[in-house]
Amino acid sequence: MHLVLASASPARLSTLRSAGIEPTVIVSGVDESQLDNLPPAALAEALAELKCGAVAARDDLPADSLVLGCDSVLELDGEAHGKPVDAAEAAARWRSMRGRSGVLRTGHCLSDPSTGRVVSATASTTVHFADVSDAEIAAYVATGEPLHVAGAFTVDGLGGAFVTRIEGDHHNVVGVSLPLIRDLVADLGHEWTTLWQDVSRA
């Protein structure tokens, strides 16, 4: 089997590669704004399904492909927060998050185009944020990193020092839950290990 990743996220690609998988990246290009007024977990899953469906419908996929769509949002005070639109929003977001906790929701949708079967689920991880200072927020936002990620933070980059604790799957905070994908692969009747590539058997 071969995995097709319907996402431009370098963090997701890196996580999959570290797990022995070398996916083909095909960005869906869907308009995410068409989905609104959904609870955070439902929104993340619906966006993942939208991205997955757009790529799975293509006729130029590699043979024996499984298509994976993912989307993450941070739930804070019951609201879904994706990527900040600008530096001012990123800074405001951090001022509201500091010293508190939120729930990172990542929707996962996996499609087997050869059978037409599709499965989806959402992984949730609680993230506790440090009580960072205004100066730290300004410095972090100035790096540009918070502008490119859901929730305006990373756990595997510069923002890692501002995350004091997580409850749940660490990989989910990076953007893709490996245990959940394994379950979805099994739901479609395949073995997770068949997706491994160039893994030493020594």
DSSP labels for the chain?
A: -EEEE----HHHHHHHHHTT--PEE------GGG--S--HHHHHHHHHHHHHHHHHT-S-PPTTEEEEEEEEEEEETTEEE-S-SSHHHHHHHHHHHTTSEEEEEEEEEEEETTTTEEEEEEEEEEEEEP---HHHHHHHHHHSGGGGSGGG--SSSGGGGGEEEEES-HHHHHT--HHHHHHHHHHTT--GGGG--S----
Q: How far apart are CA 151 and CA 76, in angstroms?
A: 9
- Establish whether 71 is a catalytic residue: yes
Q: Which of 71, 134, 169, 198 is catalytic?
A: 71
Catalytic residue IDs:
71
